[in-house]
Amino acid sequence: MERYSGRTVDEIGRIVVHSELRKKLSLTEGDKFSLTLIGTIIILQRAEENLESEVPVCEISELGLITLPCNMRDELDLKVGSKVSVYNTDSLIILKKSEYQD
């Protein structure tokens, strides 16, 4: 698993996916991800066409922004300015609230 520098949650719950990570995973504007909250992490995985409707989905913007759903931000206590650590495997992006908050 590779770790990237942390990201900050903005006022509407977005974070930026690193450009290097977007290149590595061949991510482009409009790519959709399913989001799964497991304990203290959020796992983003490319969404399948036949994804169940109750699974939260986000879309990556031209600038690499993704918006995290309110319920997941609340569950992890991610507020405006919270730091999020970003990790990846070959096909997943993993987000975890950073232990080091300002």
Q: What pLDDT is stored for residue 38 in this prediction?
A: 93
Total structural domains within the chain: 1
| pTM, full prediction | 0.84
Whether 79 is covered by a domain: the verdict is yes
The pLDDT of residue 2? 87
Secondary structure class of 22 (helix, strand, coil): helix
pLDDT tens sequence for the chain (102 residues): 888 888 999 999 999 999 999 998 889 999 999 899 999 999 998 887 655 667 788 899 999 999 999 999 999 999 999 999 999 988 899 999 987 655
In a domain, 102, yes or no: no
CA dihedral 64, 2, 51, 14 (to 10 degrees): -30
Q: What is the CATH number of the domain that holds 20?
A: 3.40.1550.20
The answer to whether the Cα torsion of 98, 77, 102, 66 is positive or negative is positive
Instruction: Residue 54: give the domain boundaries.
Output: 2-97
